[in-house]
């Protein structure tokens, strides 16, 4: 099974977004990763639903929506309306995580939980069997192009062991500082999905870069 690659639209050229979407449609990318930020949970603001609502009209790639916002449960219906396959919420951003996971499921999407670099994977022990995916942030969320945090490799291994222990079907996704070198280490540790932003969109040949990531 090849590695699942989900290019992050955060690093696309928003002055020519249609061209980048067409490139992703042609490419071997499996999903499109959408980072929605509120300027509160993370110190940055990205795009909103006005942009994401349009994507389902121009791509058949599954959408992986990552909400870097406080109280993400307030926007479950809006994310579902985009046609997103996955809805990622931060463990650190919601008080009643189990309830939110059930609400995501009831909306027809697959629930995913994101952990910041400082959050141990052990916090998911009581909910791992309810999740379709866990996203490990390998940078502090909020900005693209940051340096990879090496401790993420250990966290991937720990998460893989947790998934096996509880017979969970959750995928392991990693976002931040992903390139061919770090991607290789992450896949070897047990990662299933690589999110890559600047590494893909800053490449001279993004389609080839996506292909290389898939072959890790």
Domain count, the chain: 1
Active-site residue, from 35, 38, 64, 132: 35
Q: What confidence tens digit (pLDDT) does each residue in 125-167 have?
A: 999 999 999 999 999 876 666 689 999 999 999 999 999 999 9
Q: How many helices (H) and strands (E) does the chain have?
A: 8, 8
pLDDT for residue 101 is more than 70: yes
| pLDDT above 70 coverage of the chain, percent | 97
Which pLDDT score, from 0 to 100, does residue 48 have? 77
Give me 159's structure tokens: 């998460």
For the segment 9-54, what is each residue's pLDDT rounded down to a tens digit? 988 888 888 899 999 999 999 999 999 888 777 767 777 777 888 8
Range of the domain at 43: 4-214
Catalytic residue among 38, 64, 132, 175: 175
Q: What is the CATH number of the domain that holds 48?
A: 3.20.20.70
Is 35 one of the catalytic residues? Answer: yes
pLDDT confidence of residue 40: 76
Query: How confident is the model over 49-76, as a mean pLDDT?
Result: 89
Evaluate if residue 55 carries a pLDDT over 70. Answer: yes
User: How high is the pLDDT of residue 9?
Assistant: 92
**Average pLDDT over the chain, rounded to an integer:** 93
Residue-level pLDDT at 184:
97
pLDDT at res. 94: 93
Return all residues near 103 (Cβ < 8 A) that are at least 6 apart: 73, 76
Contact at 8 Å (CB) between 38 and 45? Answer: yes
Q: Name, in order, each residue with C-beta under 8 angstroms of 207's C-beta and a sequence gap of 6 or more.
A: 23, 26, 27, 28
Which pLDDT score is estimated for 143? Answer: 61
38 labelled catalytic? no
């Amino acid at each position: 099974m090849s590695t699942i690659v989900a290019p992050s639209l955060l690093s696309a050229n928003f002055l020519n977004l249609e061209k980048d979407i067409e490139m992703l449609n042609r490419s071997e990318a499996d999903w499109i990763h959408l980072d929605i930020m509120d300027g509160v949970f993370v110190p940055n603001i990205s795009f909103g639903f006005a942009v994401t609502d349009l994507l389902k009209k121009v791509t058949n790639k599954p959408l992986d929506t990552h909400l870097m916002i406080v109280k993400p449960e307030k926007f479950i219906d809006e994310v579902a309306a985009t046609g997103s396959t996955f809805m990622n919420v931060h463990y650190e951003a919601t008080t009643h995580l189990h309830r939110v996971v059930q609400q995501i499921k009831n909306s027809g999407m697959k629930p995913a939980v994101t952990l910041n670099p400082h959050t141990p994977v052990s916090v998911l022990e009581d909910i791992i069997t309810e999740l379709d995916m866990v996203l490990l942030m390998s940078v502090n969320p909020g900005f693209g192009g940051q340096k990879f945090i090496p401790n993420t490799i250990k966290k991937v291994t720990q998460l893989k062991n947790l998934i096996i222990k509880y017979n969970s079907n959750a995928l392991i996704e990693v976002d931040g500082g992903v390139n061919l070198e770090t991607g290789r280490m992450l896949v070897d540790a047990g990662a299933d999905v690589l999110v890559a932003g600047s590494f893909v969109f800053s490449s001279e040949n993004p389609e080839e870069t996506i292909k290389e990531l898939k072959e890790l």
